[in-house]
Amino acid sequence: MSAHASQAVGGLPAGLVQLQELHGAQGIALEIQTELFPLDAIFGASFTFIDRAFVFLDRPKETSVRVHLTLKNAASAPELNALRSLVGEFANELMACAFRLRITEENRATLESITMQAIAGAMGPPTLDELEDFDFSEEPFEDPLGIAMSWEEKYAKKSKEEPS
Amino acid sequence: MTSPRLPSGATTKHAAFFRFRQIGERVLLTGIDGGWILLESDEFEAFTRGELEEGSSLFERLRAKNFLRDHVDVPAAAASIRRRKRFIHSGPNLHVLVLTLRCNETCAYCHASRANMDAVQTDMTAEVAEKTVDFLLQTTNPYVTIEFQGGEPLVNWEVLKHVVHYALDKSRRLGKELEFTMVSNLALMTEEKLSWLLEHRVQICTSIDGPQDIHDKQRKLAGGSSHEVASGWIRRINEKYSELNLDPTLYHVEALVTTTRPLLSRWKDLVDTYVDLGCRALFLRPLDPFGWASRTAHLFEYPRSEYLEFYRSAVDYMIELNLQGVEILERYAAIFLTKILSGEDPNFLDIRSPSGAGIGQLAYNYDGRIFTCDEGRMLHHSGDDTFALGNVSTSSYREVVGHETVRAVVIASQLEGQPDCVNCVYVPYCGIPPVHSYKTQGTLFGRMRESTLCQVHKGIQDYLFEKLGDSDAETLAVLERWTTNRSRDHFLHPAETNPSSS
Amino acid sequence: MSVRIRFRRDLYPGACVDEALQVYAPYVATTRKESPDYWEVCLFEQDGDEDGPPSKKERRVAGEVSNFALGLTIRARSRGMSDELNASDSEGLR
């Protein structure tokens, strides 16, 4: 195993935060209950740290995910304060991500409507050249309500299935 | 300023949706449509306990502002929201052209990633300039502002002139209304260039970082005082506007300040400098995190609480001057007050939701690369292409504005999806550019509780609502006047009547 | 020496781990095996010292591989694809 014995960090809950060596480097690990924080929030928060830390996820128990953070540009024994501040910032970002997920779900209609109007307003209609280049074959076109059918097709079919 | 505690027995008996915040002794309420009201604490208690007497003065005040659930004027609220979000459908209006990275001045905090004067390879060529104009005139917005930036745009003078000629000629055929702005340190200005700029109605904007000692220390000009040069030209240009019989209250050189630590205690000198130069507006911008600013942060950065003290002192002084008949406004205050008092959005691209990046503005590097905004281009020069959208030579307009980065930025900058913002009393008036959150916090969304920009915006709005609550009629009239937005028609090049491109 | 990385199968889709390893293949040699819960990767410098602690290069590449696999995993999640991903979601995780 590349993960080694862990050690509590003063001032932080020992059950949640541990100093831990991973892949040969000293880092800090935070254990997160998946009942409290959705996995998408954990991934989202993790991603914002990959510019300054190596981030690795593990699952010590079925109900939790452990996030290992190792500073990229630290000496072999990074300062405790740097690791403490890293894990603190991670916890803040995790909370923001979890909260944002919920708000986004609640306000999805508004956000999508504004985004669609803003982008469509800026893009304008496609040019004839762009329409010509458009690849309609990429996705199968589903039309359960028969909107794309001609009037004749739609009702001819119906009249065959349901003879009056 | 914190959220007031709700009284015991609080109920939603009367209340329509509202957000609230303590402002001094009062409580500020804002509604979903951007309406607002300041309540005394006993009024707030009566409202939140559901103890309003129908027909009372408080009842009527709350009803008039759409805070009573049983009396919400839905069509009026919908119209107000529509007015506040009118900018959404417009498409990019502001197009920032970086004509060169070369600059003859060296600013200690340079945001623009300047290059030395021999770096001619960082000049935009006429060919790239034409492709850029061809590209930007495809915007769905009928109003187009081309802003010349650098480096120092006067360094690439021939291409600047070429862009103006080419854009005027082309826009005439496309039915676009054009405006040109040049942001320059003015050190390479000549009488000949000025005449040409005036003739072609190019607006001129410069930087004045405060009194001469601070300005010259921060903005080095080889062999001279950058402050003397810039202020000399500001006076000369303003004279020329007068000679053209243009109203000096409307037509004058706009100047921008970058607030650095040495300036915090010199707020009075700063305002006096601007007034002496004939400037009518002062934009008290805090230091940006882009370019060299992070390298020189130990010299120039400061806690935002100190900035807010500086802001309050400077704006108090500006209000005092206005009461004595001197016309000078603070730009942040004008932007927020316009939203608060008139219910209109002045479309300042960095303080709107969604932000203007990609959908309200685009920035074009000297080599034709396109970015969501000028700050995104600055990040490119530090090796980060997160905000790059394409190139004028190879990308189609619709590819660029429909780019996944633009979509991400639009989603990330909607305050209705932001923790903290959704509960913030200032959400109808506020906005955060994602590029700032990205640079300072590593995420497009940002964490507003830790954002320095959020702190600044909240602090300024706290101050403004204190003023709106406590001021006498004369002061309120000054604040009201700051929201007056007069169009500078002289600088517009209407689609049908453009001058010949000589 | 070497660095052993154990990617949880219910967190990292196998395809993402493979792609990350492929990207860093020019820098280190790797061996891979599967266990019921993990994708197990052993990563080592071909001419490295077998007995010593992981070299600086091995540690760095292990970190970069982890970050790259994480980025690919997030992209895969946002696109709602991969069987492994669906499997992890079906285990009661949100």
Per DSSP, the residues of chain A read -----EEE-TTS-TTTEEEEEETTEEEEEEEEETTTS-HHHHHHHHHTTTTTEEEEEEEEETTEEEEEEEETT--SS--HHHHHHHHHHHHHHHHHHHHHHHHHHHTHHHHHHHHHHHHHHHH-SPPHHHHHH--TTSS----TT-TTS-HHHHHHHHHHHS--
- Closest-CA residue to B426 (of B75, B1, B21): B21
Whether A123 and chain B come into contact, CB under 8 Å, resolves to yes
Look at B41 and A7; give whichever has higher pLDDT.
Answer: B41
Mean pLDDT of A111-123: 87
Which residues of chain C neighbour A1 with C-beta distances below 8 Å? Answer: 4, 6
- What one-letter code names the amino acid at B428? P
Any CB–CB contact under 8 A between B246 and chain A?
no
**Torsion over CA: B138, B139, B143, B149 (sign):** negative
Nearest to A123 among B398, B441, B443 (CB): B398
Say which of A23, A34, A44 has its CB closest to residue C59.
Answer: A23
Each residue's pLDDT tens digit, B430-465: 999 999 999 998 889 988 888 999 999 999 999 999
pLDDT attached to residue C51: 66
* Partner B contacted by A130 (CB < 8 A): yes
Q: Where are the alpha helices (DSSP H) in B348-396?
A: 374-381
Q: Is A60 on the interface with B (CB under 8 A)?
A: no
Distance of CA B122 to the CA centre of its chain: 27
- Please say if the pLDDT value at position A141 is more than 70: no
pLDDT > 90 fraction of chain B, expressed in percent and rounded: 76
Query: Least CB-CB distance to A124: which of B91, B411, B445?
Result: B91
Does A125 or B143 have the greater pLDDT score?
B143
Per-residue model confidence as pLDDT tens digits over C46-74: 776 666 778 888 999 999 999 999 999 99
Residue B3 confidence (pLDDT): 65
**Between residues B97 and B417, which one has the greater pLDDT?**
B97
DSSP readout, B69-118? Answer: GGG--HHHHHHHHHHHTGGGGS---EEEEE-BSB-SEEETT-SS--B-TT
pLDDT on residue A150: 54
Closest CA in chain A for residue C4: A2
**Closest to A130 (Cβ–Cβ): which among B89, B398, B407?**
B398
Tens digit of each residue's pLDDT (9 = 90 or more) over B354-387: 999 999 999 999 999 999 999 999 999 989 999 9
Per-residue pLDDT of B80-102, as tens digits, reads 998 999 898 889 999 999 999 99
Tens-digit pLDDT profile for residues B160-196: 999 999 999 998 888 899 999 999 999 999 999 999 9
> From the list A51, A111, A127, which residue is nearest B411 (CB)?
A111
Q: Is the pLDDT of residue B38 over 60?
A: yes
Give the pair of three-digit tokens for residue B286: 């805090």
Contacts of A50 in chain C (CB under 8 A): 67, 70-71
C58 to chain A nearest CA, in Å? 9
Among A46, A102, A113, A114, the strongest candidate for a mutation testing the B interface, having the largest count of B CBs within 10 A, is: A114
Place of tokens 């913030």: B424
> Is A118 close to B139, i.e. CB distance below 8 A?
no
> Would the CB atoms of A122 and B359 count as touching at under 8 Å?
yes
pLDDT at C49: 62
Confidence label for B498 from pLDDT (cuts 50, 70 and 90): very low
Are B and A neighbours with ≥3 CB pairs closer than 8 A? yes
Strands B219-221 and B105-107: antiparallel
- CA angle, corner B439, sides to B434 and B443, nearest 5? 60
CA distance B89 to chain A (A): 4
User: Residue C88 pLDDT > 60, yes or no?
Assistant: no
pLDDT band at B487 (very low <50, low <70, confident <90, very high): confident
Task: Enumerate the residues of chain B whose CB falls inside 8 A of the CB of residue A118.
Answer: 88-89, 354, 359, 410
Contact residues, chain A, for B398 at CB < 8 Å = 123-124, 126-127, 130
Radius of gyration of chain B (CA): 23
End-to-end C-alpha distance for chain C, whole angstroms: 38
Q: Contact A40/C4, CB-based, under 8 Å?
A: no
Q: How far is C15 from chain A (nearest CA, A)?
A: 16
ipTM above 0.90 for this complex:
no
Look at A57 and C10 and tell me if their CB atoms are within 8 Å.
no
Q: How far apart are CA C77 and CA C16, in angstroms?
A: 11
Q: What is the mean pLDDT of residues A112-131?
A: 85
Sole residue written with tokens 């937005």: B485
Q: What is the CA radius of gyration of chain A?
A: 26
Strand-pair partners of A66? A31, A58
- Burial degree of A104 (CB within 10 A; 0-12, 13-18, 19+): middle
Using the Cβ of A4 and the Cβ atoms of chain B, whether some distance falls under 8 Å is answered with no
Among chain C residues, CA nearest to A69 = C63
Say whether B31 sits in a helix, a strand or coil. Answer: strand
